[in-house]
Structures are given as C-alpha cells and as structure tokens.
Amino acid sequence: MELDQRDQTAVTAGARLALNQWSRRLGVPGPAVLTARPGLVALLDQHTARIREALGERLDVVNLAAYADGVADAAARRGWTVPEPGGTDWREASWPAVHLLAVCLLADEPAPPVPADGAW
C-alpha cells in the first residue's frame, strides 16, 4: 500500500510521538547517571549496534517505533513492567529499559542526507 505525503507525515508524527513517550517514561540518563555507571555508554553502544543490524536499511522513525513496541510487548510477556515516568534507575536498569533507550537515542539521530540524484 502506497501512502501519500499527508498520510506518511501522519504516520511519522505518530511514530515520533510514541518514541517521545518512551523517552519520557524511561527518563533519559543525564551526566550524573553516566558518571555513576560508566559502562552504560558502552552498553548503549552495543544495543544501538544490535538495533542497526536488526533493522538494516529500514532504520527510520516509523520502524524504530514498531521495533520498540515489539521489544516492550515481548518483555512484558516475560514479566517486565514499564517503569513509572522517570523511574528508571540507570545504575540497575533492566535489559528492556536499556534497549528501549537505545531505540529512542537512534530515533533522535539526524537522518543521513539523501543524494541529490536519489541514488545510494
């Protein structure tokens, strides 16, 4: 199914909203947290690499939002509960929380520029 520009804009806005809600719910760790848990940056790098590998060329905000929903659903089936807004203790964060944060961080990265001729 081909979406027109207006529909694509609406889908993208909905995906961005969903990812922003995850960011608020998880609470993005600040410098103090990163200092308290120095391995968190390396862990996030590992998670973002896995996500990039899983999504490949489909790495965009819409697919990231769908991926985040899938991760959250699978984790919930295994007993994980979504933390209260800002309630994630990043010194002891669970795998799903770190993975979802990595998804949110990837969504905030600027998109690569598209060549003028449209070819890659």
Is 50 contained in some domain? yes
- Dump pLDDT digits (tens) for 49-105: 999 999 999 999 999 999 999 999 999 999 999 888 877 887 788 999 999 989 998
Q: How many domains does the chain have?
A: 1
Degrees to nearest 5, angle at CA 62 with 74 and 23? 65
- Say if pTM beats, i.e. exceeds, 0.85: no
Determine the angle formed by the axes of helices 61-77 and 95-108, rounding to 10 degrees: 170
Degrees to nearest 5, angle at CA 37 with 20 and 69? 30
Is 105:44 a contact under the CB 8 Å cutoff? Answer: yes
Is 28:77 a contact under the CB 8 Å cutoff? Answer: no
In terms of residue numbers, what domain contains 33? 21-108
- Dump pLDDT digits (tens) for 22-45: 888 888 776 666 776 778 888 989
pLDDT of residue 3: 63
Is 115 contained in some domain? no
Is 90 contained in some domain? yes
Is 3 contained in some domain? no
Is 103 contained in some domain? yes
